[in-house]
Structure 1
Amino acid sequence: MNLDKQRVFTVEKEGLLLPFLLEKHPQKGRNKVKAMLTRGQVMVGNSVITKHNHALVPGDNITILNVGSLENKAIGIGVAILYEDEHIIVIDKPPGLLSVATDDEKERTAFRIVNEHVQSQHPKERIFIVHRLDRETSGLMMFAKSEPIKHQLQDNWKDVVLERAYIALVEGAVENDKGTIKTWLKESNTKTMYVSRPGEGVPAITHYEVLRKNSEFSLLAVHLDTGRKNQIRAHLQSIGHSVVGDRRYGSRKNPIGRLGLHANKLSFRHPVTGETLRFETAIPAKFKSVFAVQ
């Protein structure tokens, strides 16, 4: 990839974010600097900021992030590589593809497709699974290219990952524009997660914000504080708004022909360089189609 080196600036006086960026990037022009904000390339401290008039105070650290989605290389069955170096690979996984094979299912997986890609260039190399997406969930996944990098990422996941967000299309009009779901989750004998009594199972925290809604559906931006199995699906069912197409968790409608869940944002510190990388994919067109004017 041909990306500019990550840049970090320290604020010396009070002001607003857009004028500060314009001052630091006089060669880019106003529209290009605004685009950096829109794409989520600007962090103030540890938070991605998109508002032009965000207030800055002395001592704030401003980081300009690389955008991994500048590369988009298709390698098979809808899998696209967004970023690759000698240590990690980030992909965009299509719905309907397993992340990795299980004891019961040996079919083609995202893991196998990416592993074949790596071995086609370096036959002695292999990849290692870092985290998973459900089969019907699409979006961003990261793999490691060595076992030490895998363990480094997994053992320090909470510190390494700065942002992990999803887009969810759910049934019904969600009343509150923003909300937090905080419960305990437990797995049933049928491997379905459900909200349990406090102290039983594992704690789980999900934040959501309504992006769009009508009388039948709501489009949500979802952020996780914890990464439990089927957490989003179980939590949204628990507030009466099952993810579209998710029959296991109470859905009765599926106008888009797939599960309405997409992992669209992933920001993390590179396990070797310490550089902050951020990736964002578009909201699937099918998700937005249910809000089209009839």
Structure 2
Amino acid sequence: MLEELIRFTADEADAGHTVRDVLQKRYGVSRRLLIRAKFKGRITRNGLLVFVNEKLQAGDEIAVMVEEDAEETVAPEEMPLSIRYEDDDLMVIAKPAGLVIHPTGNHASGTLANGVIAYWKSKGERRRFRAVNRLDKDTSGLLIVAKNQWAHEQFSRMQQERTLHRTYHAIAEGEVKADEGTLDGPIGLADDSFITRQVRPDGQAAVTHFRVIARGEGMSHLEVKLDTGRTHQIRVHMSHLGHPLAGDDLYGGSRTYIGRQALHAARLSFFHPRNGLLMDFTEPMPLDMQQLAARFF
């Protein structure tokens, strides 16, 4: 199946430039995708095949189509989805706590991917599931799903350039003394574990910024922003600081007041990969975290 990645009409600024230059410099199409379009797809001008070194004229309509890497193997399973936004390139979904994003050995079905594939199938769309920002099973909040290979590449670039902004709300145990701060500690797997992470000198660079929103008796409500996206990053850094997240028993927190880590992806901000418009989404904390906050703040 061929998937359309880019379709645009050349304007005066594009005239005289090659198809390759415009696709790469203006639309961010990678060399890898261009090669795949050449051998496993097609690039057309005004409906006819075109070579990428041919020069454009104003008014030319260019389309880039690429064959998928492989058939999607995730089985469709209907489930309610909280879709906050959708267009041809992306979806923004509010994930509830307890939902795994992608099938694994321990969770072969019932994942967000299964639900999204079923949703697309109901619309007559055949796509691969590509999550941009991943959330742990028990973390709630906003995530992006790229709907094509080109969009996924653009979001990967945004993550590398730190122009995809993510803001979390977290409730940590204890009263964090500093009003704000930065946690800069490399994170890697703990010894003899395939799951637990820890701050360690040989880990991957990880930077977390926090700001205290409120303090209560034995709890702190934090706004957290990430420069990097390591597995369990906020949970590991807060535990290392001596303030594990409430409910996060994997990293020293107690489940006395909440049955999962009190972590919520509350805001996503980025420039749309196709039209450059600022996209800004917010999602209120779910009921369990609201109740926890009401108890202590």
TM-score by length of 1: 0.69
Paired position in structure 2 for 1:272: 274
Quick check: which has more Rg, 1 or 2? 2
Letter in 2 for 1:194: Q
Change (3 A) 1:293 1:279: closer
Letter in 2 for 1:193: R
Match of 1:119 among 118, 121, 126: 121
> 3-state DSSP class of the match of 1:90?
strand
Contact 1:139 1:264 in 2 (8 A): yes
- Residues in 2 aligned to 1:244 and 1:84: alpha-carbon distance in whole angstroms: 33
Q: Quick check: 1:262 aligned with 2:264?
A: yes
Letter in 2 for 1:233: R
Contact 1:167 1:222 in 2 (8 A): yes
Paired position in structure 2 for 1:139: 141
- Residues in 2 aligned to 1:258 and 1:79: alpha-carbon distance in whole angstroms: 21
- Residues in 2 aligned to 1:177 and 1:275: alpha-carbon distance in whole angstroms: 33
Change (3 A) 1:251 1:230: same
Contact 2:155 2:164 in 1 (8 A): no
Paired position in structure 2 for 1:195: 199
TM-score by length of 2: 0.68
Paired position in structure 1 for 2:165: 163
> 3-state DSSP class of the match of 1:100?
coil
Q: Quick check: 1:218 aligned with 2:216?
A: no
| 157-166 vs 220-229, which moves further | 157-166
- Residues in 2 aligned to 1:98 and 1:85: alpha-carbon distance in whole angstroms: 23
CA deviation string 1:147-189 (max 9, x = no partner): 2221222134233734201000111111111111111111123
Change (3 A) 1:166 1:244: same
Change (3 A) 1:248 1:115: same
Q: Quick check: 1:207 aligned with 2:215?
A: no
Contact 1:130 1:142 in 2 (8 A): yes
> 3-state DSSP class of the match of 1:234?
helix
Give the superposition deviation at 1:274.
Answer: 1.5
Change (3 A) 1:289 1:129: closer
Match of 2:85 among 57, 63, 83: 83
Fraction of identical pairs, as percent: 35
Give the superposition deviation at 1:203.
Answer: 1.0
Q: CA RMSD in A?
A: 2.0
Contact 1:100 1:110 in 2 (8 A): yes
Paired position in structure 2 for 1:180: 182
> 3-state DSSP class of the match of 1:161?
coil
Change (3 A) 1:239 1:275: same
Paired position in structure 2 for 1:110: 112
- Residues in 2 aligned to 1:82 and 1:280: alpha-carbon distance in whole angstroms: 9
- Residues in 2 aligned to 1:264 and 1:292: alpha-carbon distance in whole angstroms: 18
Aligned positions of 1:281-292 closer than 5 A = 281-292=283-294
Letter in 2 for 1:259: Q
Paired position in structure 2 for 1:28: none
Change (3 A) 1:293 1:255: closer
Count of residue correspondences: 218
- Residues in 2 aligned to 1:101 and 1:251: alpha-carbon distance in whole angstroms: 27
Provide structure 2 residue ranges, at least 5 long, that are not aligned to the other structure. Answer: 1-76
CA deviation string 1:31-52 (max 9, x = no partner): xxxxxxxxxxxxxxxxxxxxxx
Change (3 A) 1:272 1:254: farther
| 205-214 vs 232-241, which moves further | 205-214
Give the superposition deviation at 1:244.
Answer: 1.0
Provide structure 1 residue ranges, at least 5 long, that are not aligned to the other structure. Answer: 1-74
Paired position in structure 2 for 1:25: none
- Residues in 2 aligned to 1:292 and 1:129: alpha-carbon distance in whole angstroms: 32
